[in-house]
């Protein structure tokens, strides 16, 4: 099940980079965190009557939405509090050890105190460690409270997990549906690897066809098809329509990516070659392709998300030969989408009869690659 594989890969890898959690931690905590994250993302895309008709906001109390929001918010805050406190304790260890070093004349005791478990090693810093160092040294130029740190962590997980693995999920779907494209991509990746077992960061700039595949996936399957709502800051007239200040504006990035005026007579066709030699990019400067939004309110995590997507997809293409189950044709692949803030496949992708082995080996291989970065 490729969809399950991708979701299992992305969340632990992001957890490793952001909060330093590896799979060796309590599995029950890990499972609860994934469930909590799924509930949180689901609530972001839930239908809220009060958003459209404020006078009917009381309905959320009857249908249980407000109660569920309060519960998830409380549980997530407790989890983030635990994460921050663990990192504060880890950062305090070197200071405590230094204090003991000068206050304790017992050389043996001093030596034992300095033999830490490695948690305070600056070489093993994660993103939360960096935020706490900014807080301690006031390096941000403004007070960085614990509440702000927890909000930043929440933003990263909310924006960086579901959307990231959605892109990988649809990329794998399109590649399975277009085996010739997959063959071309595997050929490029394996030529660049030259017999090595993994693709490195330095290799990504040379993978032009990989970049085209990811761009084409973003064009047809933007992770947030309606982006995030915007509010008009002043009265304005657009194409003869008067738009009042404070009006909510929703941008249909899905429709923009399939506009025949921008993409030709077959905009629904998956064709990465359209981006070879094409300067159009997804960074918000070309309005015909805005999966991450544009302007000052564009997604700040584009570089991180694309580095992860390209890195994982390249190594999946390098290490494994993917195929649909025997007897299943590419045109029979179900492309039905589910509803929500992010658009996933409605059904998992069944790869072949040994998908459990592929799942285990893929997770192990990609996790090892990220730990070496």
- Round to whole Å and give the CA distance between 169 and 342: 12
Q: Is 338 annotated as a binding residue?
A: no
**Per-residue pLDDT band at 109 (split at 50, 70, 90):** very low
Per-residue pLDDT tens over the stretch 48-107? 888 778 888 899 899 898 999 999 999 989 988 988 998 888 888 765 555 555 555 544
> 129-149: buried (b, 16+ CB within 10 Å) or exposed (e) per residue?
bebbeebeeeeeeeebeeeeb
Dihedral sign computed on CA atoms, order 39, 228, 11, 148? negative
Dist. CA 216–CA 212, nearest whole Å: 6
Choice among 107-111, 153-157, 210-214 with the minimum mean pLDDT: 107-111
Placement of tokens 């930043």 in the chain: 152
Q: Is residue 97 part of a domain?
A: no
pTM (predicted TM-score): 0.76
Q: Residue 336 — pLDDT band, cuts 50, 70, 90? A: confident
CATH number of the domain that 299 lies in? 1.10.630.10
Residue 86 placed within a domain:
no
For residue 349, what pLDDT band results from cuts at 50, 70 and 90?
A: low
Judge whether 45 lies within some domain: no
* Residue 296 placed within a domain: yes
Residue 192 maps to a domain:
yes
Secondary structure element (H or E) that encloses residue 315, with its range: helix 302-319
Q: Is 271 inside any structural domain? A: yes
pLDDT tens-digit readout, 119-138: 444 456 888 888 888 888 87
Q: Check residues 280 and 338 and name the one with the higher pLDDT.
A: 280
φ and ψ at residue 210, rounded to 5 degrees = -60, -45
SS3 state at 373: coil
Asked if residue 190 is part of any domain, the answer here is: yes
Please state, in angstroms and rounded to a whole number, the distance separating the CA atoms of residues 97 and 107.
13
Between 142 and 228, where is the model more confident?
Answer: 228
Domain that holds residue 326: 165-371
- In percent, how much of the chain has pLDDT > 70? 79
In a domain, 35, yes or no: no
Domain count, the chain: 1
């Amino acid at each position: 099940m490729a969809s399950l594989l991708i979701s299992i890969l992305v969340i632990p890898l992001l957890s490793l980079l952001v909060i330093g959690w590896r799979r060796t931690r309590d599995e029950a905590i890990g499972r609860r965190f994934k469930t909590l994250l799924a509930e949180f993302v689901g609530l972001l895309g839930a239908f809220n009557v009060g958003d459209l008709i404020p006078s009917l906001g009381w309905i959320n109390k009857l249908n249980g939405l407000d109660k569920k929001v309060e519960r998830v918010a409380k549980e997530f805050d407790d989890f983030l509090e635990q994460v921050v406190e663990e990192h504060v304790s880890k950062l305090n260890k070197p200071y405590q050890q230094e204090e003991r070093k000068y206050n304790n004349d017992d050389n043996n005791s001093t030596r034992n105190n300095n033999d830490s478990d490695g948690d305070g090693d600056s070489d093993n810093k994660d993103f939360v460690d960096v935020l706490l160092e900014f807080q301690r040294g006031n390096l941000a130029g403004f007070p960085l409270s614990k509440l702000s740190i927890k909000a930043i962590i929440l933003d990263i997980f909310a924006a960086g997990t579901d959307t990231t693995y959605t892109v990988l999920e649809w990329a794998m779907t399109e590649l399975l549906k277009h085996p010739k494209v997959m063959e071309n991509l595997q050929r490029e990746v394996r030529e660049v690897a030259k017999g090595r077992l993994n693709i490195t960061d330095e290799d990504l700039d040379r993978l032009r066809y990989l970049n085209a595949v990811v761009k084409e996936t973003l064009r047809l399957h933007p992770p947030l098809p309606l982006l995030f709502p915007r509010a008009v800051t002043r009265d304005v007239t657009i194409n003869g329509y008067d738009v009042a200040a404070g009006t909510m504006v929703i941008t249909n990035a899905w429709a923009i990516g399939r506009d025949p005026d921008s993409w030709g007579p077959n905009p629904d066709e998956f064709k990465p070659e359209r981006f070879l030699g094409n300067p159009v990019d997804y960074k918000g400067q070309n309005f015909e392709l805005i999966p991450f939004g544009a302007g000052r309110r564009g997604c700040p995590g584009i570089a991180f998300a694309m580095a992860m997507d390209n890195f994982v997809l390249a190594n999946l293409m390098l290490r494994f030969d993917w195929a649909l189950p025997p007897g299943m044709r590419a045109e029979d692949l179900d492309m039905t989408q589910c509803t929500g803030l992010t658009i996933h496949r409605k059904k998992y992708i069944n790869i072949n009869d040994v998908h459990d082995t592929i799942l285990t080996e893929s997770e192990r291989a990609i996790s090892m690659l990220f730990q070496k970065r």
